[in-house]
Chain A
Amino acid sequence: MSSPHEPQPDEAQPSFTTQLKEQLWDPVAGFGVTFRTMFRKVVTEEYPKVKKPTAPRFHGRHQLNRYPDGLEKCIGCELCAWACPADAIYVEGAQNTEDERYSPGERYGAVYQINYLRCILCGLCIEACPTRALTMTNFYELADDNREALIYEKSELLAPLLPGMEQPPHAMLLGEDEGDYYRGMFAPPPGDRAAAPTSTPETSSATPPAPRTARKAAR
């Protein structure tokens, strides 16, 4: 039995250079990591100043889309509310009339509320939506100081009017009936060069659709 501290026959006494390295260099070498890092690119994100774009499929706040003529896609069917695991969506449908038309077809969502204090941004509502009316944006700066402000109304959720769109209510401008809208069988709206049959960009960038300050003032 030999003591563990006893040098083994094949482990010779460390050489002088090794000893020198261990005693002088190694303590300094640790700082090398620090020193090297000083010349590397900083990993810290300058978040409020520089906003790094999220992945395109990021689940941010919702948006209610429009057809290229500005009519709403939402038909108030409440399938999103049904799909919602957190019961965060409240929809009330109503009837379009010839004088007051918000969406193609008979029915539109008159009341549309999403409670962001319940919403877990899971996206099941998006999958449930039969008209692709509800999609998610990449906008995420949602914090607020009271519960009421975090229930977003339809006016806050609706997509902004792009050029060529007209604020509803108005008549169906793109087709004879709702079938033309649903099937995408409408001519590109005048002035819109890149009109795909299925309408507006459904995932916008991180730009909030409506500025928060304006929204608050409207309350």
Chain B
Amino acid sequence: MTTTPERTATDLVTVTIDGVSVDVPKDTLVIRAAEQVGVQIPRFCDHPLLAPVGACRQCLVDVPDAGNGRALPKPQASCTLPVADGMVVNTQLTSGVADKAQQGVMELLLINHPLDCPVCDKGGECPLQNQAMSNGRGDSRFEGVKRTFPKPIHLSPQVLLDRERCIVCQRCTRFAEEVAGDPFISLVERGARQQIGIAEDAPFLSYFAGNTIQICPVGALTSEAYRFRSRPFDLVSSPGVAEHDACGAAIRVDHRRGKVMRRLSGDDPEVNEEWISDKDRFAFRYLTATDRLPYPQVRGDDGVLHPASWPEAFAVAARGLATARAAGGVGVLTGGRLTFEDAYAYSVFARVALGTNDVDFRARPHSDEETGFLGAHVAASGPVAGRRGVTYGDLEGARTVVLVGLEPEDEAGTIFLRLRKASRKGTTVLSVAPYLTRGADKVRALLVPTAPGEEGAVLRGLADRAEELAGSALGDQDVVLVGERLATSPGALTAAAELAAATGARLAWVPRRAGDRGAVEAGCLPTLLPGGRPVADASARVDAAAAWGVGSLPETPGRDAAAIAAAAAAGELAGLVVGGVDPDDTTDPATTRAALAAASFVVSLELRASEVTEHADVVLPIAPVTDKAGSFVTWEGRVRPFDAVFTVPGSLPDLRVLAGIAEELGTPLGFRTVDEARDQIEALGTWDGERPAAPVPAPAAPPAAHPASGGVVLALSTWRQLLDGGSLQDGDDALTQTRRPAVARLGQTAYDALGAPAEVTLHGDRGTLTLPVEVVRTMVDGVVWVPARSVGRGLLADLAGPGARLRVTAGGAL
């Protein structure tokens, strides 16, 4: 309204709503224009992020002048009516016609709606309930029998539908079709029996199905997880940030008497808009799992863990670490779920208290090339370092987005939704992958067929092929998203960086876990100090040493996670500090297990009892995300701070625990609270000196083919599905049931070569696995795809290491 006259002339039109004149952009809907003058028109089907449909007719307004001097003959649905210059609109506040029309619609909607508000989960936060009070009649003239349906039907194992409550606004079907791209639900039947339905053999298995529950304006859609568990008016809502992926989706944690009852999507237009994945929404029961560690434990002389007080545990841990430090050194494995501040504490703890650079956050396959890439291209980039990074908005505005080693639907749900939105507006998505996944298809991606391990070569050629593939050459409007999986493909990260440098396209690294990007910034890497400072740079070391109040810092770059595990297993490292690492996630689970068993002193900082606990000499329970403040750094480099939801005195964040041990060691970290850590991070700032050049990777030896004896030899392509065997998804059976089934995906050639089997057995160097077969038409020849963690202990433990070639035979394992 305070725009310049030129803009007013071109973009804005003037309308009069309830006698108030307002300038709004052309094509604005009347219902939005009314919001600008503070008039709330009742509505059900209208949602700002969905296309207008005019299904519920609740938003009727009177239009005495449509902008052409003539009145529209009947009340109009304001959610589908764009403004016109000079239009006059009278809402229910000033027009008896509009008010009567709205009341009539409300009366009709309520004819078949049951009055079971005390039972209904929506009761108390229900738009229908609220608007029936504000814009409805006090009583109904309907005297017949209400239409009823048999009580709820499962649209999916998680989502239930009470059909009699449905007012057929189609918000859910529109969401499924427009936003998620999973049109498994739609309107069926006609007239009074019109209802939302699914096909018999196709349940509503979408990774984003939970959003329909949240946007349902009545209580028709409910979740198995929250059904009848609480009432809205009993819940306290705290804002939070989702801890399941690196997208930093805003969530709302609704809790009651110290227990999380449900999680809803927060509203953050810059990040997740109003949508979150089902994992973010439903996977919170791990917080109340029975194997949560209640108090610190110390292994006694009898070899059994005994409960201990915090000071005692700190003292024992400090004593043991001091001995181990003297006996060969201590390695620090932090895991990928830390907050930025906690990761920073690990980073400082390793350097200051343990005097080592042997710290690595990567609890997954990784490579030296990746270490160099992170230091050269990822650390100290983006908003966290005060620089401009690739953002969600950039994805939406890009001409072309190249996905390499990244399956957004599984690995970064919020990116997937943004890409889908972008692709509907014309962005071209190129997916460098072995086959066109369903998720890639939903973002209308064009497949650049690539066998695993050949990403580097394909990326080197992509600058020339982009125009032919995507219709335009890559430029500075375009984005290359590389996934963390690319670390297992030699040369690929380097090629991606070269591609970005050559074309001007912007590069972003998308890790899978929430804490990964923050750990890079915090310096949980053997070659990096906080703020992207290279360990090898003397002035960077002086910088950090001055901030931490120590004389000097260890000079030699440390070992990475795999090397730490190998060194500990070989007896070179005497101690390990492990912060929530599942051995099955690491490059070589057997080595990690051997390292845990061989290390003379193991300190475990964990939320729940795990395999590490069995080997640990000191077990320190740490606070889950609900009990501590902190921040996650998204893949964009955006810092997403959050506050503690609960105040639990005995629940300490990692940084407080590490500070306690460091103080016992006589080398205080300089902070004990999250705020103090933030102050120190800010005081330290980011590195603005010379960046380390990414090392040129050695040419990779071709993976040794598995000794073939029958069957075919195929390259293994794998990633983790959104819902799989991860321990953060424990406790919700309905969520477990919405997992996609584990299948082995084969190309037609391999399928035919095997004789069209119903299931295949995969033989790797670490074990064998039998899975049902699914044929994928677009699959590159010579590749088999298997989900990484959906069966058993995961592929790394049960099948083969990263980049392996497998022998595949038809039929079950015999």
Contacts and interface: CB of A to CB of B under 8 A. Distances in A.
Interface of A: 75-79, 81-82, 90, 92-95, 105-107, 130-131
B229 A130 contact: no
A75 B234 contact: no
B118 interface: yes
Contacts of B118: 75, 77, 79, 130-131
A95 B152 CA distance: 11
Contacts of B229: 92-94
B230 interface: yes
Given A77-B118, A105-B119, A106-B151, A93 B234 contact: no
A139 B377 CA distance: 75
Nearest to B160: A95
Nearest to A75: B119
Interface string B151-177: 110000000000000000000000000
B234 A78 contact: yes
A107 B234 contact: no
B557 to A, nearest CB: 54
29 contacts: A75-B118, A75-B119, A76-B228, A77-B118, A78-B231, A79-B118, A81-B234, A82-B231, A82-B234, A90-B257, A92-B229, A92-B230, A93-B228, A93-B230, A93-B231, A94-B228, A94-B229, A95-B227, A95-B228, A105-B116, A105-B119, A106-B119, A106-B151, A106-B152, A106-B228, A107-B119, A107-B228, A130-B118, A131-B118
A176 to B, nearest CB: 11
Nearest to A128: B118
Closest 9 CB pairs of A and B: A77-B118, A93-B228, A78-B231, A130-B118, A107-B228, A107-B119, A95-B228, A82-B233, A75-B119
Contacts of B228: 76, 93-95, 106-107
Nearest to B151: A106
Contacts of A92: 229-230
Nearest to B224: A95
A78 B120 CA distance: 11
Interface string B115-131: 01011000100000000
Interface of B: 116, 118-119, 123, 151-152, 227-231, 233-234, 257
Contacts of A106: 119, 151-152, 228
A112 to B, nearest CB: 14
A95 B162 CA distance: 14
B442 to A, nearest CB: 33
Nearest to A177: B148
Contacts of A82: 231, 233-234
A131 B117 CA distance: 12
A82 B123 CA distance: 12
Contacts of B257: 90
A77 B234 contact: no
A195 to B, nearest CB: 25
A107 B229 CA distance: 10
A92 B256 CA distance: 11
Interface hub of A81, A82, A105, A106 (most chain B Cβ within 10 A): A106
A111 to B, nearest CB: 11
A11 to B, nearest CB: 77
A90 B116 CA distance: 21
A31 B6 CA distance: 106
A92 to B, nearest CB: 7
Interface centre among B119, B152, B233 (most CB of A within 10 A): B119
Contacts of B123: 77
A55 B65 CA distance: 67
Contacts of A95: 227-228
Given A77-B231, A78-B230, A106-B152, 19 more contacts: A76-B228, A77-B118, A77-B123, A78-B231, A78-B233, A78-B234, A81-B231, A82-B231, A82-B234, A90-B257, A92-B229, A93-B228, A93-B230, A94-B228, A94-B229, A105-B119, A106-B151, A106-B228, A107-B119
A81 B233 CA distance: 10
Contacts of A78: 230-231, 233-234
Contacts of A131: 118
A95 B119 CA distance: 10
Contacts of A90: 257
A189 B228 CA distance: 30
Contacts of B227: 95
A90 B231 CA distance: 11
Contacts of B233: 78, 82
A76 B228 CA distance: 8
Contacts of B119: 75, 77, 105-107
